Structures are given as C-alpha cells and as structure tokens.
Amino acid sequence: MTEKKTKYIFVTGGVVSSLGKGLAASSIGCLLEARGMTVQMMKLDPYINVDPGTMSPFQHGEVFVTDDGAETDLDLGHYERFTHAKLSQANNWTSGRIYQSVINKERRGEYLGKTIQVIPHITDEIKAAVRTVADMHTPDILIVEIGGTVGDIESLPFMEAIRQMGNEEGRNNAIFIHVTLVPFIAAAGELKTKPTQHSVRELREIGISPDILLCRSDRPLPSDLRKKIGLFCNVQENAVISALDVPSIYEVPLAFHEQALDELIVNNLHLKEMFPSVDLKRWRELVSTIKDPTGGNVKIAIVGKYVELEDSYKSLREALTHAGVANNLRVNVTWIESENLMKDDYENELQDFDAILVPGGFGKRGIGGMLRAIKYARKSGTPYFGICLGMQTACIEFARNVCGLRDADSTEFNEETPFPIIFKLRDLVDVEELGGTMRLGEWACNLMPESLAREIYHGAPEIGERHRHRFEFNPEFKETLEHEGLVFSGVSPDGKFVEMVELPRSMHPFFIACQFHPEYKSKPLDAHPLFTAFVAAAWNNRMKSENLEHDVSRDLGIESQDRAEVETGEY
C-alpha cells in the first residue's frame, strides 16, 4: 500500500490587501471537503510580531484563539468555520516567530558556526513549519495562505519558500492560486485588467507562475476580459475565476463551484478519479436560510468598545448569524459604542432591541456605558448575554446596584477599589509582559444541575470552551452575590475559576454570562448552543412585546368605543 501523500495549494494576494484571501482559501477548503477530501489549513503572516496577541484590534481585527491557546490571525476563524480542520499554534506562523525560532537555534549552536542567512535558513524554517502540519495530520490537501501582498519586502522569504516547495513537490502535487483585483474605473466606465497583469508579473519575477487567478471585482468579468487576463498572465481562460462581491460570505463556495473552481483544482492535482463528485446540499440549504429565513427577524444590540471596526468582533458576528440559521431567523445587529450610553437618555437607545450582548475587550474605556446597558437589561427583562468582559461587568453591575457595594470594580480599572469583584490572576500579579500572558485556550467547566447553562448545553455536566483574559471573578465575593440571587452556574473542576453566571428565571427570563469565548467554536452548520439559546430568547421577547402591544391597542380600542357609546347615549 502506497503511503498517503499530502498535496499543497498555496494562496497569494496581489494589488492591495484585504481582498479576502482568507475567505477564498476557506471556501476552497469547503469545496474540497464537499468532495470527500480531508483538508488542513495554514496562515503565514509576514509581520514581525510573534503573534497577533498584542496588536490593536483596530489595526488587525480580531485575535482568534485555538484549543491549545494560540493567539492567531482572524483568518483561522474562517478556516475553522468553513472546514472541519482542527487548528493549533502550528497552523499560524509569522515572520517574527520564524526568525525567533532560527535565532534560538543559532544561539544553541545548532547551525555549527555557519553564517545564518535568509536563504537557506529562514526559508528552510518556513518549509519545515508547513511540512510539520502535513506530517501531523496527513491531510489530502494542505492549503497555505500567504498574508500581505506580492511585492512587499517582508513577504519575500515566504514567497521564496513556497516557490522552492513547488519545485520540490513537483507538478500535480502543488498549485498556486493568486487572488487579485480587477477594479472598475467609473470615469472610464470599464473594468481594468492592468493591476492584475502587474501583480502576476511581480509573482512570476519571484519565480512563481499562478495556475489559477481569483479576480475580485464588484461586477461580473465579461468573457473577453477573462480571455485577455488569461492571455497576458499565461493561464487558461477557464482558470480566470470571477470572485464577485456577494451578500453573504457563505455564498462564496457556491459562487466558486458554479465556475468549476473545485473541478479545476482536482484536475490540476490529478485527484479527479479519487474524488469525482461534490455534495453541497447542506451548504445550499444554509445559504438559502441566511438569504431568506422564514421565521422572522430579531434586533440585537452589541454594546462594545471596538465597534468602529466590525472585524474586531468577527467570530461574534458570525456566531449570531449561525444562531439565526439554527432558529430560522434573520439577526439584525446594531453596534453601539459603549461610550455613547453615558447620556441621560441612554435607555431610549436600548428600548427598541429584542436582546443585548456585551462582548469582550480590554481596558477601562467604555465600561460605564456597558454597566448602564447591563442595568437596563436586568431591570427591563431584556435578554442579556455577556462574554468575557461582559461577564465581569455583569458581576460588577450586580454588586453595585443589587448588593449595595457602590464602589465595586475590577482592579483592571481601579486598583484601589475597596470591593475588587474582578481581580488579576494571582499567577500573573508580577507579570508585566503582554504577549501570551493570559488564561488561553480550552479549559473545562462544570455546569450546575438544573441551571439555565446546563439546559442550554443539553444537560452536559462538563463542557470545554476557549479563553482569552487576564482577570477573573474574585471568589471572596461569591457568597455576597449569591445571597442576593446571582447564580454561579459554571465553575472550573477545581473550583478556582468562575466560568458562568446567570440570574434565576424567577428573576429574569434570560440573563447569562460567561468568562470564555463561545464564538470561537461556532460553525455555520453547527451553531453554538449559547448563541442559539440567546437568539431564541430574543425572539421570545419580541413575540411577548408584540403581543403586549397588540393587547394594549385592543384595550385602547375598546375603551375608545365605550366612551363614544356613553357620549352618544347608545348601549
């Protein structure tokens, strides 16, 4: 029996950044899995940071956390949502981490006194990182996305490494897919191919000839334009794929399939006989529900700190979409900057929503607005879901306004607070470094019997969820908050960490918060139960409100009729 050999797809980008290479790579993975292949995915990022953990979400978007605690690029979130690939720290490498590894080896004397150079030492390290993932999982296909744009100085070592791999693996075992831009110039009234031509020329100067082009545009590429691109870029016309803007990211695999992208890939890699057909039935049903849910719609307010850039909460937004699909509902999200709730009439900004969610974040800015949103949700009976910081602020709000601990706070915001409801992990008290110094990755959590949390998780006594935070609930205040009604429904097996809190349903129809980030585990075809329950609660609240309005309107109509009858003397 011949040993299974992994084949490689390298995805690069040109012209400008933010073209959607990650979504393109994820969609390719989705299509290949639909043909029955096993798929693994990697992201190679050219920046010097060791990982994205210390980068501003305004600059880099969300930090995605894997089970093993790796702080990674948000594209890994797309990889996990679109495929069944199990990702870890090995699936995301940066220039900083590659250089750090090489320098550490040099310091240990592993290069036996040689002069360390970009070629071969850095490029060999990159190739070793890629092949390690292939050896760990032995997938049919390993898709490797190169971050940045062709022509960037910092990405050159990665480009050289994949060029070498293309030669070493041989034709039919590795292909190159280039994502590029075909802009529409309004003044000329036409699509322009020159940026794509220049981008491919730069790629070929490096020594890489793309096999397939994914051309991003806001309108379809005419046949003559595809023919022109193919001619000037030395690719077959049918390998020039139109990557159109679509209303939902989950439509991308279907759009690619309609242009036979998966067929093109299996033919190029000589896999057609092994994987002849594709089954996209469930994916088509998913997209159909997203586009036209028959159950109705709900309005959810997300009160956060980084709402100017939605990529900061990418997994969160997608998890709500998944929960909408699970409930056959459209989830309409409004992003509310928490600082904007410091006005006197803040309740007016929240009263039209069916539910309120407060997500994670770091630092003091905007905390006052979050506390107001939580107070409003608690007192009005509006369904509330808090995540990470959203759990911490829920505990602070309850301590201040229900338990009477007026100056209760987190030591993250006020180190001198007399009631440190939230405090830094004792293990981290003297740790000043920011990178990788948090409770990260998957941790176990025991759920209290007969709690809302246990019911949401279908009766499971123990769950495992991913974390990313430095501060925890202070157990010294547990008894005080419990006495006033707060339920600590999820704790770590050793009892050290509070993982979930909730209000009993006798006090509130749906008020729950967790220290972990459930959004990291939500998938479009397998929505996370917490989000599914939250969206269902939002719908129930909407129905209750509409029924109440209907009853009030009916009563007012009866009253008006009665007054009219009295005035006219008619009975």
* Residue 178 annotated to the active site: no
- Residue of 125, 467, 519, 528 marked active site: 519
Nearest by Cα to 159 from 106, 214, 233, 209: 209
- Residue of 78, 508, 517, 528 marked active site: 517
Nearest by Cα to 199 from 25, 20, 13, 21: 13
Joined together, the tokens standing for residue 187 give: 């003044």
CB 501 within 8 A of CB 485: no
The rounded distance, in Å, linking the Cα atoms of 203 and 571 is 88
Nearest by Cα to 488 from 412, 391, 402: 391
Tally the C-alpha atoms within 13 A of residue 5's C-alpha that lie toward its C-beta.
11
Looking at the DSSP bridge assignments, the partners of residue 165 are none
Kind plus residue range of the DSSP H or E element containing 501: strand 498-502
Kind plus residue range of the DSSP H or E element containing 77: helix 75-82
Contacts of the segment 233-240: beta carbons below 8 A, 24+ positions apart: 233/196, 233/197, 233/200, 234/200, 234/204, 234/209, 235/210, 235/211, 238/264, 239/211, 239/212, 239/213, 239/264, 240/213, 240/215
Nearest by Cα to 217 from 239, 248, 250, 195: 195
Nearest by Cα to 372 from 384, 354, 387, 388: 384
- Residue of 233, 388, 403, 445 marked active site: 388
Q: What are the angstrom distances between the C-alpha of 257 and each of 32, 252, 262?
A: 10, 9, 6
* Residue 263 annotated to the active site: no
The rounded distance, in Å, linking the Cα atoms of 21 and 177 is 10
Coil, strand or helix at 40? strand
* Residue 519 annotated to the active site: yes
| Per-position b or e across 526-544, b if 16+ CB within 10 A of its CB | ebbbbbbbbbbbbbbbbee
> Annotated active-site positions, please?
388, 517, 519
